Amino acid sequence: MDTPLIAVEGTYEEMGAEVGHRTADLVARSVETYLRRFRDKSGLSPADVRRWGLTFLDVARSYDSGIAAMLEGLAAGAGQPVEHIAALNARTALLDGTGYDEGCTSVAVLPKYTRDGHTLLAQNWDWHPEQGAVTFLLATRDTEGFAVLTLAEAGMLAKSGLNSAGLGVCANRLQSDRDRAGAGVPYHFLLRGVLQSERMSRAHRKVLDVPRVSSGNLLIADAGGEAIDLEVAPDVFGALLPRDGLLTHSNHFQAELPLEDRKAASSGLTLLRHERVRHLLEDTAADRAIGLEHVVAALRDHYSFPDGVCRHLDPDATPAEECHTVYSVVMDLDARELAIAGAPPCARPFERWALDEVFKPDAAPELCFDPDTDGGRRSPAW
């Protein structure tokens, strides 16, 4: 198994504590990495991080009691100060304005345009190589049976994932001149808030009807057959809808919003990556024949190598600037299934997980989309 699975059940505090206990070594590495980045990139002292961590913990308590309980449980289980865990989950806000390059390419396909009538959602997550080693799949099931399966960095609660209601989300980094220090809801809280939502309308409220402290993008889709892209910044937001069955996004604002985009000029190929994925899929979409194998092939694309959709390390980058596709995630929301491949996803088979199977003691993934089998195009259909 290339990507570890951590599956937990119980109350939110109990689940957080078990995750923390089982990943304590990884959490310690993640805390060390981000404390260093907060210092080197943002000039934050240990006292600053503690103060902001406690601020964002209070925000979590107001925003979603389950998120706050998981943060507190995770900190206790991992033997870490709770303010460090809260700061990790607010790392986007604490690193705003530092010029760090986190890139992602996301796509949703409406069921009318897929071969089997299912809603598809997928993403490449581009980030620093060292974080791949402390990232895993996190599965949670609460006392009412509500389940979430999400990619997560150690010490954090969410990234791209899906839930038992058939709702999924993908994350894309955005940055604007509106980003600021303050007590708004951090981006990764928003992602977990979406994944805790049992319907689309509630997901919208968890993202839009709250004070926000930083910019970000959330591509949300559900098994009901709809998808929407929410571009958010402090005090403003925009929405994008599918065109010809496809909705794609990268790392710049596409909606007309009263702000200055601070990543469009610097984030690797962001102005083309989302359109590149559309170009690769639009003919098959027109035939109403898209399968996940087509989405996987698009996410493995190397146009403008090494800065394309499937991003590879730039040999000219300094260690602090290194960024590549850490993970590729593809989801069938109707089937409640998620498949994942680590770096580089162009050279690895995906591991497929079904949400209703991950909590079994003998749970194991099924390999699919093997790049050595016709580019993955002949892998088992879902």
- pLDDT tens-place string over residues 18-51: 999 999 999 999 999 999 999 998 999 999 999 9
CA-CA-CA-CA dihedral for 153, 246, 324, 214, to nearest 10: -50
Q: Which residues of the chain have pLDDT under 70?
A: 97-102, 374-382
Q: Hey, what domains does the chain have and what are their CATH numbers?
A: 5-9+100-376 (3.60.60.10)
Q: How many CA atoms lie within 13 A of 14 on its CB side?
A: 9
**pLDDT given for residue 182 in this prediction:** 85
**pLDDT given for residue 379 in this prediction:** 38
**pLDDT given for residue 312 in this prediction:** 97
**pLDDT given for residue 2 in this prediction:** 85
| This prediction's pTM | 0.96
**pLDDT given for residue 297 in this prediction:** 98
Contacts of 64 (CB under 8 A, 6+ apart): 189, 192, 193, 196, 206
**pLDDT given for residue 98 in this prediction:** 45
**pLDDT given for residue 381 in this prediction:** 38
**pLDDT given for residue 380 in this prediction:** 37
User: What is the rounded distance in angstroms from the CA atom of residue 200 to the CA atom of residue 225?
Assistant: 11
